[in-house]
Amino acid sequence: MTTGLHPGETPQDPRPTGNQTLPRQERIGPGTPHSDNRTRSSVITARAAATFDPVGRSVATARSFVRDTLQGWGFADIVDDAVVLTSELVTNAVIHAGTSADVLCLRSDDGVRIEVADRYPEREIPLQGSPVNMGSPDREGGRGLQLCAALAGRWGVEYTPTQKQVWFQLELPHRAVGTRSAGPSLPADLLPLADGRVRVAVIQIDRAGSIAAWNEDSEELFGYAPESVIGKPLTDLAAWPHTPGTSTGIVEALQLSRWEGSYGIRGANGRVTPVYASHLRVRDTDGEPSTVCLLVRDHERAVLQTPLRGSSSDSTSSAEGPNTDPFEVFIGSPAPDDLDGLLQRTVERARDMLDADSAFLLLATDDETELEVRASTGLPSARQRFARVPVEAGPGRYGSARMPAVHDDLSAVPGAVPLLSGTGMRSVVTVPLKVEGRLTGSLGVAAESPGRYTNEEALRLQFAADRIALAVESARLGELERLRRGSLSFLVEASDLLAGTLDRDQTLALMAQMTVPTLATWCAVYTIADQASDPYLSYVLHEDEDRIDGLKALLSKISPPDPVPTPGARVWSAPAEAAHQAALRTSMRSLGLNAPTTTVSSGIGTTLATAAAVGGETVVLPLVARNRVIGMLTLGKPTDEHFRQEILELAEDLSRRAALALDNARLYSERTAISQSLQRSLLPPELPEIDGVEVEVIYRAAGEGNEVGGDFYDLFPIRDGAYGFAIGDVCGTGPEAAAVTGLARHALRLLAREGFGGPAVLERLNSAILDEGARSRFLTLLYGELWPQEDGSAVLKVVCAGHPLPLRLRQDGTVEAAAEPQPLLGVLEDLELYEQTITLDPGDVLLCVTDGVTERREGTRMLGDDGLTDVLKTCTGLTAGAVAARIMRAVERFASDAPSDDMAILAMRVPGLRKN
C-alpha cells in the first residue's frame, strides 16, 4: 500500500478530464439522476491517497486508512458511514473485480469526497444515459451502489477505458452557531480539577514554523513576553515528545490539518510545563497557510481534548485512567477478522506508537527454530514477506528472538537483525510474542537514525506485544486449521489423479498442473533415468502460458540442481541469478552498451518479463521412490516473493506421492515395453504371397497392452509349391498362454519342414505340450497344407483338432463345414488323428476362426456358428480381405463391450486361374 497525505494544499484534481472521461452516472440522494459539478469546483483543502493490492486483507487496511484520515481531519461524525461505503467498494474491486483499488479522500468546504477506482479491463462501458440497475437488495452484487444511494449526499460512477471509479460525498452535519457535541452529565467530584482560572494559550505559527502571535494567557503560562518570542521557531520552546506514543515530531504536527496531543513547553524559568495542545491548520486572507495552537496545562486537557476514538493510541497519561490499554486498538475498532489484516494493523500501530520508520512482525514455525516474516511496513520492498530467519541468530540474549533486545546502531553489529540488512535502518527494538511461555513470534520497530530507542520503549512494546499475542496466536491457529483442511483435500485429490494414470508423460503433466498456481507461480520437473544419468528437464509450466517458452529456454541453459536425496525443500539460487544476468545483457544491448561476460549464453533471449517471473525464491524437492532419487520437483516464485512454510510442507507431501506415481509409471512403461517386445517375437513374420490364392489375417489379442494372447495363426512355405497354415487357441490368455503359443507355432514349422504329414505333426506337438507338465495347457488347432493348382483351384489337406470347424463359401452363396472335428491337443497322450482333403474351386472362400469370434456375447445372446454362417453368406464375390473385414465388423457390432477373448480370423480365397 502506498499512501500520501498533503494537508493545507490545493492540488490538481486527479480525475480524468476532457476527452479522457467516458459517460458518467451521478446520483444525488437516493434516486434521481442529476448533473451537478459543484463538488468539482470546491476548494480542496486536504487529500489522502492509497493503493491496495488485490488481496482479502486490503479491505480491512482500506477501512483503517479511511478511518484514520477522517479522524485526523476532525470529521468523526461521518467516519462510520465513510468506512462502510469504502469497505463495500474496495471489496468489489479487490475481491470481485480482482484488481488493485485506488482510494482517494478529498476534503473540501462542502464535506468529504471519497473515490474508489479499480482496473478491471474487460468491463463493458455503459451507453450514454443508460440507467443504473442495482438489482435486488438481497443480492450481493451491486450492494455498494445501493449503500451509496442510501448514505451519501452525492455519488456517481465514472468510466475510462482502463478503470471504473465510484465516488461519494458525505456532507458534514449542520450545527447552529455556538453548538457542539455534548458529553454525559457527571457528578461534581468526577469533574476535572483546574488550578483557579483556566488559561488557554493561543499561539499562531506561520508557514516557516515561527511564532506570529502570542496572547496574554501564553505569557501567563510560560513567562515570555510577546516581543521576546515572536519570530522564533516554536521548536525552540517545545520539548518534544512529552507523551509516549506520539507518532510524529513537532514540525510534522504543525503541518497536519488537525492534531491533538501532549508535549512540553520550556518556560522562561527553564522548567518544562506539560501542555495539551490542539493544532488547527488555517489560511489567512492572503491565502498563506498558518497553524493556530491552543494550549492548556496537561491536567486540564478536558478543556480541549476530543473524546477518545477507538483507533486513538496517542496519549497514555494518568488523566486518561490507569486501566487504559495503549494497544487496545489492535484488538478493537474492530479487530480484523483475518490473520493478515490483524498482523498488518499490528505493525502499523507499533510503528506509530514508537514514532518509527518501519515495523515488522514474524511468526514462529511449529518447531520454534525459525521465524517467518508475515507483515511489515516501511521496509523498502515486499520481498521480506514469508522470508525466514533463525530464532537464535547469535550467542547471547541479543541474538535470540526469545528476549527483548534494543540495538542502538546496527552499523556497528552487521547482521544482528538479518531482516533489516540493506534497508537503511540503524536502531531497532524487538520483543517476543509469547503464549503460555511458548514463543509464537517476534515484533520489532526500527528507525533510520541511531540511538532512537531505550529500555523504556522496549517495555512499552513488550506490553503491547503481550496484549496482542493471544489474539495473533488464535488467528494463526484458525488459519492453520483452514490450511490443513485445504491441504488434506488437495492431497486427496492429487492422490486420486496420480493413481488414475500409469502414463509417464501424463504423470509429469499432472505434477506440474497440481502445483501451479496452487503452490507456486512456476514449476519444472527434472527426471533421472538411472544412477549414471544426469537430470533431464522433462516438463516446465508457468501460470502465464506466454512465459513458458522463455522459462524453458532459461532453465535449459543452466546446470540442473544436484540430485540430493535429503528430504525437504532446499533453496536453489541459480535460476534467479541466470535470469538477472540474461536480463542485464538484454537491457545493455538495447542501450548499445557492451554487456559483461556471464555464465549464461546470450542466445537465451530471456526478456525482462521472464527474469521477473523467476526472480523470487526457488526451491527444489527431491523425488525419491524406492530409496532412489528419480528426479527433482522445482517450484518458483516471481520477483521478491518467498514460500510459506506451510506451502513447503504441503509441497513435500505432494512430492512423495508424485515420486511414487512417477516411478510406477516408469516401471509400467518398462514392463509394457518388455512384454510387447517379447510378444512381437511370437508373432509370425510377414505372410508369404501365394500365387493363385488370396490370404487375409486379422488378429486381436484381449487385454490392455497385449499384442499376443492364447490365439495364434501362421502361414509358411513348406517346400516348392506347398504351404502350411495353422490357426489355434490355447486355453486362457496373457503371458502363460502366449508361451504355449510360441511353442506351438515354432514346433509346427519345424515338424512340417521335416516332411511330416499333418497327423504326425499334431501328434508330436501334443507330446511336446504334455511334456510341459504343470505348465501345459490344452490347445485347439486347425492345421492344413495347401497346394495351388494350374487350373486355378487349390487342394487342401486339413486336420481339425478340437477347433471350430473351417467354413467353405461357394460361389452360389452356400456355406458348409470343410472338415470334421477331432480330439484337441494337450489332454490325451495317445491320439489317432487323420487328415481330410478338400478342393477349393475358383471363387470359393475358406474361413477359419477361433472361438473368440463365435463366442462373442451380448447379455444372454451369443453369435455362435449359425450367426457366423449367416454373415459369411453375405460375402459372396468379395476378396479375402473384404471377407475378413466384414466378419470382424459383424463381431464388433454384435456386442457393445470390449472383447474378453482373443480373436483370430484367417480367410483364403481362390480367385481363378493362376498367373503365368
pLDDT of residue 12 exceeding 70, the answer is no
pLDDT tens string 244-278: 433 346 777 787 777 787 888 889 888 888 888 88
In degrees rounded to 5, what are phi and psi of residue 493? -65, -40
Q: What's CA 223's distance to the chain center, in Å?
A: 67
Query: Rg for the chain (alpha carbons), in Å?
Result: 45
Q: What gap in Å lies between CA 533 and CA 531, rounded to an integer? A: 6
Among candidate residues 50, 25, 22, the one with its CA nearest the CA of residue 36 = 25
Task: List the end-to-end C-alpha distance of the chain, in Å, as a whole number.
Answer: 94
**502 phi and psi angles, rounded to 5 deg:** -120, 15
Classify 606 as helix, strand or coil: coil
Letter string b/e over residues 9-44, b meaning 16 or more CB atoms within 10 A of that residue's CB:
eeeeeebbeeeeeeebbbbbeeeeeeeeeebeebeb
The side-by-side arrangement of strands in the sheet containing 289-297 is 211-214, 201-205, 289-297, 272-283, 258-266, 238-239
User: Peptide bond before 322: cis, by omega within 30 degrees of 0?
Assistant: no
pLDDT of 190: 63
**pLDDT of residue 806 exceeding 90:** yes
Q: What is the dihedral of CA 718, 719, 722, 728, to 10 degrees?
A: 0
Of 414, 609, 420, residue with least CA distance to 522: 609
The dihedral through the CA atoms of 385, 388, 392, 394 has a sign that is negative
Q: Tell me what the mean pLDDT of segment 107-127 comes to.
A: 72
Check if the beta carbon of residue 759 is closer than 8 Å to that of residue 746: no
Output the CA angle 636-664-572, nearest 5 degrees: 20
pTM here is 0.47
Is residue 182 very low, low, confident or very high in pLDDT (cuts 50, 70, 90)?
low
C-alpha 585/C-alpha 593 separation (Å) is 9
pLDDT (0 to 100) of residue 50:
86
Q: How many CB atoms lie within 10 A of CB 466?
A: 15
Q: Nearest-5° angle of CA 777, CA 781, CA 783? A: 145
Per residue in 358-410, pLDDT (tens digit) is 889 988 887 778 888 888 888 765 446 667 778 776 655 566 788 888 888 88
At position 518, the amino acid (one-letter code) is: T
Q: How confident is the model at residue 181 (pLDDT cuts 50, 70, 90)?
A: low
Q: Which of 61, 90, 95 is nearest to 346 (CA)?
A: 61
Nearest of 676, 677, 744 to residue 711 by alpha carbon: 744
Alpha-carbon distances, residue 913 vs 49, 787, 790, 792, 841 (angstroms)? 99, 14, 7, 4, 10
Q: How many CA atoms lie within 13 A of 152 on its CB side?
A: 26
Structural element, H or E, at residue 522: strand 522-527
Rounded CA separation 331/775 (Å):
79
310 alpha-carbon distance from chain centroid: 37
User: Model confidence over 568-611: pLDDT tens digits?
Assistant: 888 888 887 777 777 677 666 666 665 554 444 444 444 566 66
Averaged pLDDT for residues 718-743: 82
DSSP lists the bridge partners of residue 204 as 213, 292
Residue whose C-alpha cell reads 486449521 in the numeric block: 481
Question: Is the predicted pLDDT of residue 561 greater than 70, yes or no?
Answer: yes
Phi-psi region of 307 (alpha: psi -120 to 50; beta: other; left: phi over 0): beta
Work out the angle at residue 729's Cα, subtended by the Cα atoms of residues 725 and 730, and round it to the nearest 5 degrees: 125
Calculate the average pLDDT of the chain: 78
Q: What does the alpha-carbon distance between residue 641 and residue 636 come to, in Å, rounded to a whole number?
A: 9
Question: All 3 cell numbers of residue 390?
Answer: 533463525
Calculate helix-pair angle for 339-353, 455-499, nearest 10 degrees.
160
Tell me the pLDDT tens digit for each residue of 492-513: 888 888 888 888 888 888 888 8
Going by their DSSP bridges, the two strands 570-571 and 2-5 should be labelled as: unpaired
For the segment 620-673, what is each residue's pLDDT rounded down to a tens digit? 999 988 888 888 999 988 766 778 777 888 888 888 888 888 888 888 888 877
Peptide bond between residue 274 and the one before it cis (omega within 30 degrees of 0):
no
Bridge partners (DSSP) listed for residue 447: 427
Average pLDDT over residues 690-719: 82
Give percent of the chain with pLDDT exceeding 90.
20
